[in-house]
Amino acid sequence: MPSDNEALSNVSVFIATPRPVLAEGLRTLLAAIPWEPLRVVKKLAELPKLAKRESPDLVLVDADWPDAEEVFPPLAALQALPSSGKTVLIYDSLLPHARMQALLYGCTAIVSSRQTSEQMLFNLNQIAALPQPQPWGELGRLYQYLVHPVAATNGCEHLSARECQCLRLLGWGLSNDEIALALRLSLETVKEHLRRLFKKMNFTDRVQGAVWAVQHGMAEFDFAP
């Protein structure tokens, strides 16, 4: 890892954002290093195609896009590339569910746009120095939480370990597809776990399961560093 005052060189960067102000702010910030080449991508749909052609080391993606553009499917497409770099989601504010989605769809890190310039540069340099894309910082802690076995709690001791994990992820509001991503299972296997879970817990639907998980503390995670 680089030290506080040591910056990596020859890091190619994409900035994907619809906001000119954010693009210019990041351009100015990175000019202090400098990292080149640097490309600004204004349409999310173009991001995977451009990344496949140019193989950037670091992709900084704005979390705030117009309603018509969903940020996570293009990020998933990035991770499917043979030489995918590190993807960093830049956010103003981000709900817990979206933080979990950032992890599931292949982001290396999430970074607040409200950080100081010095902290932002330090964090980006640390992320760029990782030997390979892997969950870093807050997403690293969230990944450890995700893969750690769920402790049995009052009322669900009769569930299997997988059923407990599915119940916890229901509490996060994840879809079946996202639960499959999180647990690295097939969609059909997840559906079977949920079917057994609902039967054992007498849940009529997933909303009831999500509420139960939240009320019993199964979906708790401390986002503070």
Q: What does the alpha-carbon distance between residue 176 and residue 182 come to, in Å, rounded to a whole number?
A: 10
Q: What is the pTM of this model?
A: 0.83
Q: Do 48 and 61 meet the contact criterion of CB atoms below 8 Å apart?
A: no
Residue 66 pLDDT: 85
* Per-residue pLDDT reduced to its tens digit, 182-197: 888 999 999 999 999 9
pLDDT tens digits for range 56-65? 999 999 999 9
d(CA 169, CA 163): 10
pLDDT for 68: 61
Full set of structural domains in the chain with CATH: 13-137 (3.40.50.2300), 144-215 (1.10.10.10)
Closest by CA position to 15, among listed 98, 91, 88: 88
What was the pLDDT predicted at 6? 53
Reported as a single tens digit per residue, the pLDDT across 89-116 is 999 988 888 888 899 988 999 999 999 9
Is the N-terminal amide bond of 96 cis, ω within 30° of 0? no
Which tokens hold the place of 44?
Answer: 């999310």
